[in-house]
Structure 1
């Protein structure tokens, strides 16, 4: 089953949601914590559902769960049992599904819409480290060790029945290889793989994006490949490069262009998304078919994207 491909038969462009963690911060959450947004799964899950609901309401075709920084070792370090950690991981899927299902239950919301998908976020090992490693890579771990880290979380999320996996902000080829290898253990699921990038040609660790995508995209359970949590200015070159090595759908959801300082735990620099819809138009023209936002984007950015898409993108 390939829910993403099915959705793309109905829409020439799928709209992802925007940031979750920084949106929670904007709504008053203190995420200065190793669990980051996963902390809110414990303390205020209803707020996570509200953010999902807002993104669906403004036009998102896909919502991504609050499991990016949620891991079993991370929850255990906080004092939870393994069973409790699994419950929290599964809660992330349940909240997204509840927001989607509540929206879809109203027939008025179905006009000119497709039923939104729920993508279970699988963040990189670097997110668990909480030191900015997802923007550097160089973990010094083997593929087997990375598989062992990701396997329990993937199993917990799969049991909660999302529509697909979103393996995102992956900084290096070895971690992508580990995740792709794990997909074989969950044959009923598909995934997209999106890398973090340092420029227009290289992932965060410095490896060639062309070589990474050319290898990863060959896996039958990988249904889209692309880039996320990367400055918007790099996307045109990255999309062109990816398009040159695969015919699979390209997914992009950049951050605001600001840079995260893991020491000060804040965002620095200037935003690059003053006209998000105009930029998305360029990414679509370059070949991206699944577009949304990452850190520091908001429901208003996704609303602008959805309005543009409704007026200018011819649906299939």
Structure 2
């Protein structure tokens, strides 16, 4: 039976949605500090839904972001708490899953090329990798330029564990930086990531790009968001301004997942506003034809670069 990796869904948005009376630039990290049981509950629901790889709640916990809030001294503590709440969720659900470390954009999502050097970015990503060294795998997410992606890959490969890098596309099929998907893949091939993926964009954009991505790299995947638009956040607004689409039901989302799989994807999941219900529906449907496996199972034989399809 063919295997497929099933990631969790939109952890940060789901945590933020369930939280009580919290509005913060650090969104789900702020919730974790004040209401850790909410994060544990979301993790547990994604585990029960069938996800085999769950990401730490550290997307907003970069040194740059914490420094802006005067919380840089809490960096290590936030990361340790993220491990703790996920392990509590595994205990609650009585199920072991892969813990995925998270290497996000360092300053903000949906931005173009950062005005920083490769060495400067690498130093910050290396700090995050060190804090997440106990993770089973690493996921570099929502990359919108190749400079940040390359720095994250260079840091991730030092851990000698499976890791994936995921790019976010705009409606024109390019990165926010203006770089093409071909240029993005070419930039990370020298770092031999376990997988190259697309994430946090419209599911149709992923469906359109997936055939080309699968022809370019051996192991690929996708996990989309369910936002109406991210423009408010891209222009510096708060996550409070983001709205979920009403037409992307669990069944409708799985229809896109099926397209990605048919185009060559072997890793699927969900990003912002993809809920445990979406992942549960997909897990049930996938089980009819696939063996659902954790990301760490991709360690052997699937990180060879161009696929030669």
Q: Give the alignment's TM-score, normalised by structure 2.
A: 0.84
Match of 1:301 among 261, 275, 278: 278
Query: What corresponds to 1:251 in structure 2?
Result: 221
Match of 2:264 among 277, 287, 295: 287
Unaligned runs of 5+ in 2: 294-309
Residues 166-197 of structure 1: CA deviation (Å, up to 9, x unaligned): 110011001111112223433x3231100111
Residue 219, structure 1, aligned to residue 191, structure 2: yes
Query: What corresponds to 2:213 in structure 1?
Result: 242
Query: What corresponds to 2:167 in structure 1?
Result: 195
Aligned residues: 286
Residues 132-188 of structure 1: CA deviation (Å, up to 9, x unaligned): xx2132222121121122222221111xx11111110011001111112223433x3
- Summarize the Cα distance change of 1:257–1:85 in structure 2 as closer, same or farther, 3 Å threshold: closer
Query: What corresponds to 2:15 in structure 1?
Result: 24
Give the drift of 1:215.
3.2
Equivalence map 1:45-194=2 (5 Å): 45-80=36-71, 82=73, 84-104=74-94, 115-127=96-108, 134-158=109-133, 161-186=134-159, 188-194=160-166
Give the drift of 1:219.
2.2
Partners of 1:232 and 1:257 within 8 A in 2: no
- C-alpha distance in 1, partners of 2:19/2:110? 26
Residue 15, structure 1, aligned to residue 6, structure 2: yes
Give the drift of 1:293.
0.8
- Summarize the Cα distance change of 1:315–1:169 in structure 2 as closer, same or farther, 3 Å threshold: closer
- C-alpha distance in 2, partners of 1:229/1:102? 28
Partners of 2:7 and 2:270 within 8 A in 1: yes
Say which is worse superposed, 118-127 or 163-172, in terms of deviation. 118-127
Q: Give the alignment's TM-score, normalised by structure 1.
A: 0.83
Root mean square deviation, CA, Å: 2.3
Unaligned runs of 5+ in 1: 1-9, 106-114, 128-133
- C-alpha distance in 2, partners of 1:309/1:12? 10
- C-alpha distance in 2, partners of 1:19/1:30? 20
Partners of 1:123 and 1:168 within 8 A in 2: yes
- C-alpha distance in 1, partners of 2:52/2:161? 18
- C-alpha distance in 2, partners of 1:193/1:174? 13
- C-alpha distance in 2, partners of 1:293/1:35? 21
Give the drift of 1:209.
0.8
